[in-house]
């Protein structure tokens, strides 16, 4: 495994406007290494899709709201995206970004058996934020997120992928890397450190 | 490129929606664009078109493209008794009020292939209200409400429907209502005896009946704010005083222009009641 970090622009030279994150099996562990570390002054919105069984009340927003310094909420339909806020997709709904930078929910068909779908979030966010988007694919056992990360990078955004060999479930980050050879491969600590550099000093 | 310039495909997307509206009077211009763009991208690939402009050319000059295109543009995803707790709440909290009416009208707005409407008919039959109720199922997609009228679903969906029905407090066995044949479940036509399916648009059409219950779940999320306001206004004007409106688990009237016309009746299941006073 070679650290692909050399290809990624440093936070100071990027015009990042938002972060999207996708995680599946192993999500709690991976997100726990990233979200609580973000300081109150983190300037970007963070949109997160985690795969959950449909009937789960999405406890993730509550769980992380207690652990995070940023406000963590479940996304609501048509709400304007605020900086410095973490939004989780509700269970059983896709989360999309409108070009006027509002959030939308949808109960369309699952994509790759998943609703919410990481691809749907990433593709619509890439459309709305263009080169200003950072896409992060974390641990997971399927291939959701690979096409989405590709869309992020095709739009000029930045792709970060958790090191598959250090992921609880390596299939998803590996699929993302296969689809996006230009993405940076990082440990959770490196992803966390990368994001912290966006904080204005 | 400056952010203010619309991307070419977004320009084409709006022109396509405009063309469909002018030519066929299906008005999708107030729909949420992110989801519409995804679905039209699937349609573009399906029709082997390079661009939305190319798709526009096809649909303008070949009317036979329209029905298939509509199936991409409208979301038709539902289940019998989807979100069982919603139907529990209808049964336990709304039905006692409905019992006080000598005759009832129920409107399922955006009925798609009929799952929601059949769920309500079965629930009303179990509660002894079916005989005094007329059920309206409306949709803009003729293909959808033709499916609803047929009442035929793939057999592999039945286990989920059965489980939902049970969790919704079903008092009968779902198998009482359908016959399985050739990989399909055909729902009993007596369920349709008191049902009317028709073409109605929340975007362009008006009030057509005075009803006591409207169920319109996971439809408003596909609309932008002004269109959501229009639909909710239509619901307000269609409901009798103290009538009930059920919307999707992640939908809300909170930001609606007519929010004050409704009170939260069952917050957890997004059931609202129209206020009784002068509104």
DSSP codes, A31-71: HHHHTTTS-TT--S-EEEEE---TTS---HHHHHHHH-SSE
Beta sheet of B152-154, edge-to-edge order: B152-154, B184-187, B178-181
Average pLDDT over residues A179-193: 97
User: What are the residues whose beta carbons fall under 8 Å from the beta carbon of B58, sequence distance 6 or more?
Assistant: B47, B49, B65
Give A106's contacts in chain B (Cβ within 8 Å).
32, 35, 75, 221-222
Of A55-64, A184-193, B120-129, minimum mean pLDDT range: A55-64
Using DSSP, state whether B37 is helix, strand or coil.
Answer: helix
Nearest CA in chain B to A125: B34
Find out whether A99 and B34 touch, Cβ atoms under 8 Å: yes
pTM above threshold 0.90: yes
Q: What is the pLDDT of residue B1?
A: 45
Mean of the per-residue pLDDT values for chain A? 92
Task: Using a CB–CB cutoff of 8 Å, tell me whether A73 touches chain B.
Answer: no
What does the alpha-carbon distance between residue B34 and residue B24 come to, in Å, rounded to a whole number?
Answer: 22
Task: Using a CB–CB cutoff of 8 Å, tell me whether A124 touches chain B.
Answer: yes
Cβ separation B252–A99 shorter than 8 A: no
Q: What is the pLDDT of residue B106?
A: 98
Find out whether B269 and B94 touch, Cβ atoms under 8 Å: no
Cβ separation A106–B10 shorter than 8 A: no
Cβ separation A96–B38 shorter than 8 A: yes
Give A96's contacts in chain B (Cβ within 8 Å).
32, 34-35, 38
Among residues of chain A, what percentage have pLDDT more than 90? 85
Residue A2 has pLDDT above 80, yes or no: no
B165 torsion bin: left (phi>0), alpha (psi -120 to 50), beta (else):
alpha
Among residues of chain A, what percentage have pLDDT more than 70? 91
| pLDDT tens sequence across A126-173 | 999 999 999 999 999 999 999 999 999 999 999 999 999 999 999 999
Structure tokens at B190: 């007596």
Find out whether A77 and A55 touch, Cβ atoms under 8 Å: no
What does the alpha-carbon distance between residue A31 and residue B106 come to, in Å, rounded to a whole number?
Answer: 45
Min Cα–Cα distance to chain B from A159, Å: 21
What does the alpha-carbon distance between residue B89 and residue B264 come to, in Å, rounded to a whole number?
Answer: 13
User: What are the residues whose beta carbons fall under 8 Å from the beta carbon of B38, sequence distance 6 or more?
Assistant: A96, A108, A120, A123, A124
Which has the closest alpha carbon to B26: B200, B270, B191, B178? B200
Residue A1 has pLDDT above 50, yes or no: no
Give A104's contacts in chain B (Cβ within 8 Å).
32, 34-35, 221
What does the alpha-carbon distance between residue B192 and residue B118 come to, in Å, rounded to a whole number?
Answer: 8
Q: Which of B7, B228, B250 sits opposite A93 (nearest CB)?
A: B250
Min Cα–Cα distance to chain B from A11, Å: 20
Q: What is the pLDDT of residue A8?
A: 72
What does the alpha-carbon distance between residue A106 and residue A118 come to, in Å, rounded to a whole number?
Answer: 13
Which has the closest alpha carbon to B25: B205, B270, B173? B205
Give A108's contacts in chain B (Cβ within 8 Å).
35, 38-39, 75, 77
**Which of A74, A108, A130 to mutate: most B Cβ within 10 Å?**
A108
CB atoms within 10 A of CB A80: 10
Name the one residue in this structure whose structure tokens are 């679903």. B153
Task: Using a CB–CB cutoff of 8 Å, tell me whether B45 touches chain A.
Answer: no
Q: What is the pLDDT of residue A7?
A: 59
Task: Using a CB–CB cutoff of 8 Å, tell me whether B222 touches chain A.
Answer: yes
Min Cα–Cα distance to chain B from A175, Å: 22
Q: What is the pLDDT of residue B3?
A: 52
Cβ separation B252–A77 shorter than 8 A: yes
DSSP secondary structure letters along B220-261: GGGB-HHHHHHHHHHHHHHEEEEEEEEE-TT--STTSTTGGG
ipTM: 0.91
* B residues 90-119 lying closer than 8 A (beta carbon) to A: none
Q: What is the pLDDT of residue B73?
A: 96
The helix (H) or strand (E) run that includes residue A195 is helix A188-196
Q: What is the pLDDT of residue A13?
A: 60
Q: Which of B3, B35, B255 sits opposite A106 (nearest CB)?
A: B35
The helix-helix angle for B33-46 and B8-24 (nearest 10°) equals: 80
Cβ separation A98–B38 shorter than 8 A: no
Task: Using a CB–CB cutoff of 8 Å, tell me whether B77 touches chain A.
Answer: yes
Cβ separation A107–B225 shorter than 8 A: no
Give, for all 279 residues of chain B, the pLDDT tens digit. Answer: 445 678 999 999 999 999 999 999 999 999 999 999 999 999 999 999 999 999 999 999 999 999 999 999 999 889 999 999 999 999 999 999 999 999 999 999 999 999 999 999 999 999 999 999 999 999 999 888 899 999 999 999 999 999 999 999 999 999 999 999 999 999 999 999 999 999 999 999 999 999 999 999 999 999 999 999 999 999 999 999 999 999 999 999 988 999 999 999 999 999 999 997 654
Which has the closest alpha carbon to A22: A101, A112, A130? A112
Which has the closest alpha carbon to A127: B13, B167, B192? B13
CA distances from A104 to A69, A97, B12, B255 (A): 25, 6, 21, 14
Task: Cite the active site residues of A.
Answer: 24, 51, 144
Q: Which of A78, A99, A108 sits opposite B225 (nearest CB)?
A: A78
Which has the closest alpha carbon to B222: A196, A177, A98, A6? A98
Q: Which of A90, A105, A107 sits opposite B77 (nearest CB)?
A: A107
């Amino acid at each position: 495994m070679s650290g692909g970090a050399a290809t990624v622009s440093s936070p100071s030279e990027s015009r990042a406007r938002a972060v999207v994150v996708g995680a599946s099996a192993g999500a709690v562990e991976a997100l726990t290494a990233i979200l609580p570390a973000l300081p109150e002054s983190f300037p970007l919105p963070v949109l997160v899709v985690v795969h959950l069984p449909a009937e789960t009340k999405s406890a993730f927003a509550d769980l992380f709201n207690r652990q995070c310094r940023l406000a963590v909420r479940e996304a609501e339909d048509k709400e304007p995206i605020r900086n410095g806020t973490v939004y989780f997709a509700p269970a059983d709904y896709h989360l999309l970004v409108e070009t006027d930078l509002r959030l939308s929910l949808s109960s369309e068909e699952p994509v790759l058996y998943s609703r919410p779908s990481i691809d749907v979030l990433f593709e619509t966010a890439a459309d709305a934020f263009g080169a200003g988007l950072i896409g992060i694919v974390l641990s997971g056992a399927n291939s959701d997120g690979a096409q989405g990360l590709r869309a992020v990078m095709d739009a000029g955004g930045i792709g970060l992928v958790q090191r598959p060999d250090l992921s609880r479930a390596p299939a998803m980050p590996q699929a993302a890397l296969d689809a996006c050879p230009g993405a940076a491969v990082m440990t959770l600590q490196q992803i966390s450190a990368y994001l912290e550099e966006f904080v204005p000093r | 490129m400056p952010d203010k310039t619309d991307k070419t495909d977004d320009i084409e997307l709006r022109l396509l929606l405009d063309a469909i509206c002018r030519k066929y009077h299906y008005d999708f211009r107030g729909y949420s664009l992110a989801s519409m763009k995804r679905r039209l991208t699937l349609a573009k690939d399906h029709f082997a078109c390079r661009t939305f402009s190319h798709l526009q050319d096809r649909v303008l000059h070949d009317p036979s493209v329209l029905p298939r295109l509509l199936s991409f543009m409208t979301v038709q995803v539902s289940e019998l008794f989807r979100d069982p707790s919603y139907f529990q709440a209808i049964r336990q909290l709304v039905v006692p009020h409905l019992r006080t009416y000598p005759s009832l009208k129920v409107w399922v707005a955006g009925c798609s292939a009929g799952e929601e409407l059949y769920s309500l008919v079965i629930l009303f039959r179990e509660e002894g209200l079916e005989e005094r109720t007329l059920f309206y199922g409306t949709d803009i997609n003729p293909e959808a409400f033709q499916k609803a009228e047929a009442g035929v679903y793939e057999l592999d969906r039945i286990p989920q429907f059965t489980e939902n029905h049970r969790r919704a407090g079903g008092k009968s066995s779902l198998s009482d209502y359908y016959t399985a044949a050739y990989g399909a479940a055909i729902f009993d036509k007596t369920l349709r005896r008191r049902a009317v399916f028709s073409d109605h648009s929340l975007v362009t059409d008006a009030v057509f009946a005075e009803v006591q219950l409207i169920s319109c779940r996971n439809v408003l999320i596909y609309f932008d704010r002004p269109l959501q306001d229009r639909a909710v206004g239509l619901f307000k004007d269609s409901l009798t005083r103290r009538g009930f409106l059920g919307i999707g688990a992640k939908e809300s009237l909170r930001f609606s222009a007519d929010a004050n016309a409704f009170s939260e009746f069952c917050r957890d299941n997004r059931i609202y009641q129209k206020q009784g006073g002068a509104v």
